[in-house]
């Protein structure tokens, strides 16, 4: 079997399961298990349904966290006309279908820069 065939076979297997095994990730997992055997045993006691529900809850919580952060960024942009003009200037060049996501990405980038500037100013003032 040639290299291309082996790669195609591996990709097909990954697509079936949706799991992409990478040696560096597997090594991290194995290290965590070795360092935390009681956590590993506790997780093994869960049923498949409980694990699926826990994973879904983690995904929902992460999505809510991101949406909250995006809302903070949008609020920051809405409260600062100069920043809003900059975001709109960048977004208006894009096709209509891409503007909403781009607006959020640019708003988040500028909001992050604003927060970093505030943090730097705050830490420079403290003794």
The total number of structural domains in the chain stands at: 1
Q: What is the pTM of this model?
A: 0.58
Is 89 a member of any domain?
Answer: yes
For 77, other C-beta atoms within 10 Å of its C-beta total 24
> Residue 21 burial by CB count (10 A; 0-12/13-18/19+): exposed, middle or buried?
exposed
4-18, 21-35, 83-97: the lowest-pLDDT one = 4-18
Is 31 a member of any domain?
Answer: yes
Is 11 a member of any domain?
Answer: no
Domain enclosing residue 56, as ranges: 19-125
pLDDT digits (tens, 9 = 90+) for 21-70: 788 988 999 999 999 999 999 999 999 999 999 999 999 999 999 999 88
Is 81 a member of any domain?
Answer: yes
Average pLDDT over residues 78-93: 89
Is 76 a member of any domain?
Answer: yes
Is 42 a member of any domain?
Answer: yes
Is 4 a member of any domain?
Answer: no
CB burial readout 25-51, b (16+ within 10 A) else e: eeeeeeeeeeeeeeeeeeeeeeeeeee
């Amino acid at each position: 079997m040639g290299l291309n065939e082996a790669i195609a076979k591996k990709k097909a297997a990954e697509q079936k399961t949706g799991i992409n095994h990478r040696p560096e990730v597997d090594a991290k997992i194995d290290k965590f298990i070795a360092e935390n055997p009681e956590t590993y045993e506790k997780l093994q006691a869960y049923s498949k349904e409980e694990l699926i529900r826990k994973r879904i809850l983690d995904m929902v919580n992460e999505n809510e966290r991101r949406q909250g952060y995006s809302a903070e960024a949008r609020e920051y942009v809405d409260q600062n006309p100069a920043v809003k003009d900059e975001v709109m200037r960048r977004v208006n060049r894009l096709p209509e279908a891409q503007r909403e996501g781009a607006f959020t990405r640019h708003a988040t980038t500028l909001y992050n820069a604003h927060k970093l500037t505030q943090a730097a100013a705050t830490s420079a003032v403290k003794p």
